[in-house]
Structure 1
Amino acid sequence: MKDYKIMGISLPVYFMLLAVLLIAMVLDVLPTGMIGAFAFTMLIGALLDVVGNNTPVVKTFFGGGPIVIIFASSAMVYYNLIPASVSENVKTFMKGGGFLDFYIAALITGSILGMSKKLLIKAAVRYFPTIIGGVTVALGFVALGGMLFGQSPAESIAYIGIPIMGGGMGAGAVPISEVFSQGLGIPSETILSKLVPAVALGNAMAIVFGGLLDKLGKIRPELSGNGKLMDIGEEELKMTEKKEDLTLTDYGIGILIATSFFGLGNIIAYLFDTYAGLDVHTYAWMIISVALAKAFNLLPQKYETACAGWYQFVAKNWTSALLVGIGIAYTDLGQVISAFSPVYLVLVFLVVLGAVVGSALVGKLVGFYPIEAAITAGLCMANMGGTGDVAVLTAAHRMELMPFAQISSRLGGAFIILMATFLVQVFF
């Protein structure tokens, strides 16, 4: 244990920092604003992440750290385990302080600009139709299931189907809740409390399905590529990770470009809302503008690399902090508890089953092996992003498919956000 580290910090030093935080909270002198918010969310988030990633069953079937962080943080507020001043400061930091938007701006810009353009072009012809097939069947299944249980198809799709297929929490359920909030005029925290259970259960079922598909491949070998998505040309589709040393200036460039793209999204959203009457969320316009910039090489490679590096920094150091904020500011534990029911479990199961069936069928039509298509374009859309990708591919014994899983998590989630933007206006 002497060499064990939390957030790269040795245990003695980490617990010294944690002691400072706890004493400040007990004395009610923890600074307000971003100082106190960062100290609390980063220290608590890192600790809860370790707990979740080392808890049996939870780490295997429920996504480990992210789920524990969200629900434990929400429980702290629900059971009054932290001072009200601390929870209110975190809520202000996440909402009025804009930390959520700041994180998502880095995520959208860096994840899209950081991908290989060659990979995107070659994979798009076959892979994106496979993703769309999985999403379509998943939403169709949950809509039909909802009707059987007396629930409207729109509600089943919006609160169960879309969040599960949306790419996790930070890149999926959170921005989706903001999109729904703008379209429906309902507080985003109310919506997110309905989405979180679906994301958690969908992730768990996706991992289980990964193991089942691996077994199916052994029983029906003609359906499996044993880790290969297609017969020929796969080497050209592999992700090309460029290892470049970034300077401090590069991180500043990444921040500036990410926040500028967010500003551009605001400008476009305002113009369309004002002059065309089209109310589309800023995130959607931001995704479109970043994708176009990537497609037409509008930014030098150096700047794209800087944005990707900044995103990696944000994801590495602040994801746990963000999840603490989500738990405190956006997740009402009482509403989450009331959402669980046998019907709810069945509808979640139908979403994941639909993702498998749809992606396998379309994947077969475009030349993919059905099992590999179902795992990557289906389950890696239904799980919780990066951590879910690792868990699903580990359960399926197909870690070599990670490049395709990343396409599902990065761009598939962005596609769901875009789709949610337009569906919310159609359904509601």
Structure 2
Amino acid sequence: MLEEKKKIKLLGMEWPYFLALCFVIVSAVKFNFLPKSLAGQLPFLLVLGELLRFVGDRIPIVKDYLGGGSVVVLLGCSALVMYGIIPADTAQASKEFMNGHFINFALAALCCGSIFGMDRNLLIKSSLRYIPCILGGAAVALLGAGFAGELMGFDFTKAIMYIGLPIMGGGTSAGAVPMSKMFAEVLKVDQGEMLGVMTPAVALGNALAIVFAGLLDRLGKGIPSLTGNGNILRGKDADVSLLSEEKTVHEPVRDLSVFAAGIAVSGIYLGLGQLIQRFIPSIHAYAWMILLMVLSKIIGILPAEVEKSCALWYQFFMKNFANVLLAGLGVGLISLKPVIAALTPTYLFICLLVVVGAIIGSAVIGWLVGFYPIEAAITGGLCMANMGGSGDIATLMACKRMILMPFAAVSSRLGGALILILGSFLLPLLGSVTEVLGK
């Protein structure tokens, strides 16, 4: 038993060494000798995020239905601040670290790597039939949110913007985080307040997506004509290999300069997005950045080795800094009070209508473009409503259709980007800050 425990590694080191590192970090926070700069905040958030991720990924119900480690890192860090376990001055230092452009740095890396890491043929072929399927699911889901909000007295527009869009936006890091920042900048409010309202929607949407995936699998067994049992295309085109050649990077990295190239390219596209926003301010820089990346990928502007560098940088960032991003948001920007206040029957009902709407919309449009309804609903609907990559795995495992992962990847990446762009267009509908926050 002891030998098995010694094999457990966190941050690439065996657990006794990690615990020793935790002790030093905790002491630094307790006795106030942790540097407030990058030199102190980065290791603090690295250790804290890794610890909570490890715990969250091992809590049965949480790891299976509520997003696992990602949600535990985000909300757990916020709870540590709320109960005074993390001192206020440390939380303020983390807030300054995050607002000091680390979020922009992270989001550029996530968007750049995920888009340029996709196979070009996958991107082009998927758009011919699959994009309408995604849009159909998103449209009905957002309308469901609005009507549910109106029915429950929550407000049509706020239900769409605060609940519908975050659920359909591709998870936390690539969905709720950039969306909350975009809303905060345009509406001149605190990002933590925005994220505090959006985060429970993301978690609940993920849980409902996994549950409904299992229910759809049972429905397919009862009505076989609705499913291809893993094949999404009906008739002569029933070949799931259409999107089975997504680019992955398996070989070891021998030249570490590829990370520098990925950082440079992601920064350039973010800069171009901000430049265009100066001339067309109605659309956020993130939306312009994503549009430019997708267009560049389709046209093939960047050399293959540069695209590979972007994909490797994305993988490196996700493996090593995703928890830093989530922990920093939890410590410095999110308050648990609005999260707790949001968990009402009304909120739960709106989340339910969003997921059901995603299923119905993607299934109907999927049938019209030549897909099996159940496979279309799972990939175009539920894989939009769950929490990105980890949610895709859990959703497809629940319905025993892991072969559909390439389609799920398109939903999480490209679909999430489309929702972010849509949110940028819809922001003016929110009106004044007073109207938005109901003050």
User: Is TM (by shorter chain) over 0.5?
Assistant: yes
Q: Which amino acid aligns with 1:356?
A: I
Q: CA deviation at 1:35?
A: 1.6
Q: How many aligned positions are there?
A: 422
Q: CA deviation at 1:65?
A: 0.5
Distance 1:74 1:242, change over 3 A: closer
**2:346 counterpart of 1:343:** yes
Partner of 1:243: 250
Structure 2 CA distance for aligned equivalents of residues 392 and 87 of structure 1? 35
In structure 1, the gaps of 5 or more residues are 274-278
- SS of 2:280's equivalent? helix
Structure 2 CA distance for aligned equivalents of residues 51 and 264 of structure 1? 40
- Asked whether the equivalents of residues 182 and 281 of structure 1 are also in contact (C-alpha less than 8 Å), the reply is no
Structure 2 CA distance for aligned equivalents of residues 22 and 150 of structure 1? 45
Partner of 1:152: 155
Q: Deviations over 1:174-204 (max 9, x none)?
A: 1111221233222222111111111111111
Pick the aligned partner of 2:63 from 44, 59, 74.
59
- Asked whether the equivalents of residues 165 and 413 of structure 1 are also in contact (C-alpha less than 8 Å), the reply is yes
When normalised by structure 2's length, the TM-score is: 0.94
Pick the aligned partner of 1:381 from 370, 384, 408.
384
- Asked whether the equivalents of residues 93 and 332 of structure 2 are also in contact (C-alpha less than 8 Å), the reply is no
Partner of 2:437: none
Structure 2 CA distance for aligned equivalents of residues 7 and 386 of structure 1? 20
Identical counterparts, % of pairs: 46
**2:237 counterpart of 1:234:** no
Q: Deviations over 1:269-318 (max 9, x none)?
A: 11223xxxxx3211011111111211211111110100110011001111
Structure 2 CA distance for aligned equivalents of residues 9 and 226 of structure 1? 42
Q: Which amino acid aligns with 1:164?
A: I
- Asked whether the equivalents of residues 63 and 391 of structure 1 are also in contact (C-alpha less than 8 Å), the reply is no
Question: Where do residues 259-274 of structure 1 align in structure 2 (5 Å cutoff)?
Answer: 259-273=267-281
Q: Deviations over 1:189-229 (max 9, x none)?
A: 21111111111111111111111111111111111111111
Q: Which amino acid aligns with 1:351?
A: V
Structure 1 CA distance for aligned equivalents of residues 192 and 54 of structure 2? 26
Pick the aligned partner of 2:25 from 13, 21, 24.
21
Partner of 1:308: 311
Structure 1 CA distance for aligned equivalents of residues 154 and 51 of structure 2? 39
- Asked whether the equivalents of residues 280 and 421 of structure 1 are also in contact (C-alpha less than 8 Å), the reply is yes
Partner of 2:435: none
Partner of 1:276: none
Structure 1 CA distance for aligned equivalents of residues 333 and 356 of structure 2? 28
Structure 1 CA distance for aligned equivalents of residues 361 and 333 of structure 2? 32
Pick the aligned partner of 1:41 from 24, 45, 48.
45
Partner of 2:186: 183
Question: Where do residues 192-203 of structure 1 align in structure 2 (5 Å cutoff)?
Answer: 192-203=195-206
- CA-based RMSD of the aligned residues comes to 1.2
**2:368 counterpart of 1:365:** yes
Q: CA deviation at 1:426?
A: 3.4
Structure 2 CA distance for aligned equivalents of residues 83 and 242 of structure 1? 41
Structure 1 CA distance for aligned equivalents of residues 57 and 152 of structure 2? 36
Partner of 1:413: 416
Q: Which amino acid aligns with 2:389?
A: G
- Asked whether the equivalents of residues 197 and 342 of structure 2 are also in contact (C-alpha less than 8 Å), the reply is yes
- Asked whether the equivalents of residues 180 and 424 of structure 1 are also in contact (C-alpha less than 8 Å), the reply is yes
Q: CA deviation at 1:168?
A: 0.6
Structure 2 CA distance for aligned equivalents of residues 242 and 194 of structure 1? 36
Partner of 2:91: 87
Partner of 2:266: 258
- SS of 2:60's equivalent? coil
- Asked whether the equivalents of residues 197 and 339 of structure 1 are also in contact (C-alpha less than 8 Å), the reply is yes
**2:2 counterpart of 1:4:** no
Partner of 1:72: 76
Partner of 2:117: 114
Report runs of 4+ in structure 1 exceeding 4 Å deviation. Answer: none
Structure 2 CA distance for aligned equivalents of residues 130 and 193 of structure 1? 30
Q: Deviations over 1:3-35 (max 9, x none)?
A: 111132111211121111112112210112112
- Asked whether the equivalents of residues 154 and 346 of structure 2 are also in contact (C-alpha less than 8 Å), the reply is no
In structure 2, the gaps of 5 or more residues are 432-439
